[in-house]
């Protein structure tokens, strides 16, 4: 089945130790998104790629970076995780057949990050 | 004021009840609207898009009121399996794409 895959599902890191979360998709969608969701809060968009074009949200901290080496893969790098970065990180994809705003997003199962 | 606001609930209803959720948004230039469902510790999944004319999918009805800047979701004949958090999503693509999720309304359907 076509899907969005995130690895690992659970990640534990130490305060200040860089960590990379990965997302892959078999949907061949050209848009990929990264969200941060804290407990009982809304998913918050960090950035998205439209093909190779990177779009950063204005309030995304510099501590968060992303890479998209090809259509299928996208990575979230947290350079120096703080305790406040503990959250669920969700990857999503969409395939706009017209304006990007009109299309369903397909989410992966998420990676739950713990910072010690 | 939050850009997308929802009543957090929880809504506790018996099976068979009708329940309605509202969501308000602040950006009048918003273009598209969705309801997503999120089960506990799972990813969000699209429930339905919301069209200007209103739309229905089985027991679920979504409405959009652009003048008042709110959308609604009505669930009829609630099932135990409807227990979840319902997220309102508002998208804009004026001067750059923006997608805003509401914090969600939690629903518990009891036998």
Given a cut of 90, whether residue B104 has pLDDT beyond it is yes
> Residue B100 has which token pair?
């805003």
Q: Which of A94, A105, A112 to mutate to test the interface with B (most CBs of B within 10 A)?
A: A105
Tell me the mean pLDDT in the region A63-84: 96
Of A30, A24, A27, A26, the C-alpha closest to A7 is A24
Which pLDDT score is estimated for B61? Answer: 97
For the purposes of burial, counting CB atoms within 10 Å of the CB of A71, is it exposed (0-12), middle (13-18) or buried (19 or more)?
middle
Which pLDDT score is estimated for B52? Answer: 85
CA A35 to chain centroid: 5
Which pLDDT score is estimated for A2? Answer: 67
Contacts of B46 in chain A (CB under 8 A): 104-105
Decide: helix, strand or coil at residue B70. strand
Which pLDDT score is estimated for B97? Answer: 85
Measure B16 CA to nearest chain A CA, in Å: 26
Given a cut of 90, whether residue A72 has pLDDT beyond it is yes
Buried b (16+ CB within 10 A) or exposed e, B40-78: eeebbebbbbbeeeeeeeeebbbbbeeeeebbbbebeeb
Which pLDDT score is estimated for B26? Answer: 94
Which pLDDT score is estimated for A20? Answer: 97
For chain A, the helix, strand and coil percentages under 3-state DSSP, each to the nearest 5: 5, 50, 45
Chain B residue whose CA is closest to A58: B98
CB pair distance less than 8 Å for A105 and B46: yes
Q: How confident is the model at residue A100 (pLDDT cuts 50, 70, 90)?
A: confident
Measure B103 CA to nearest chain A CA, in Å: 4
Q: Which of B6, B43, B51 to mutate to test the interface with A (most CBs of A within 10 A)?
A: B43
**Residue A104 contacts B where some CB pair is shorter than 8 Å:** yes
8-state DSSP, A98: S
Q: How confident is the model at residue A79 (pLDDT cuts 50, 70, 90)?
A: very high
CB pair distance less than 8 Å for A101 and B103: no
């Amino acid at each position: 089945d076509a899907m969005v895959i995130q690895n690992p599902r659970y990640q534990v890191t130490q305060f200040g130790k860089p960590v990379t979360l990965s997302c892959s998709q078999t949907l061949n969608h050209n848009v990929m998104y990264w969200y941060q969701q804290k407990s009982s809060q809304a998913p918050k968009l960090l950035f998205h790629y439209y093909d190779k074009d990177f779009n950063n949200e204005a309030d995304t901290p510099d501590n968060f970076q992303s890479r998209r080496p090809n259509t299928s893969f996208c990575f979230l790098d947290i350079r120096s995780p703080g305790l406040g970065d503990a959250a669920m990180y969700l990857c999503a994809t969409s395939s706009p057949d017209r304006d990007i705003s009109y299309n369903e997003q397909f989410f992966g199962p998420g990676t739950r990050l713990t910072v010690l | 004021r939050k850009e997308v606001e929802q009543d957090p609930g929880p809504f506790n209803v018996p099976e068979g009840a009708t329940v309605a959720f509202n969501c308000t948004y602040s950006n009048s230039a918003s273009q598209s609207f969705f309801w997503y469902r999120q089960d506990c510790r799972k990813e969000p999944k699209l429930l339905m898009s919301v069209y200007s004319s209103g739309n229905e999918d089985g027991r679920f009805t979504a409405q959009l009121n652009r003048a008042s800047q709110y959308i609604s979701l009505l669930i009829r004949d609630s099932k135990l399996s409807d227990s979840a958090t319902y997220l309102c999503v508002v998208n804009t693509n004026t001067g750059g794409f923006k997608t805003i999720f509401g914090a969600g309304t939690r629903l518990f359907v009891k036998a």
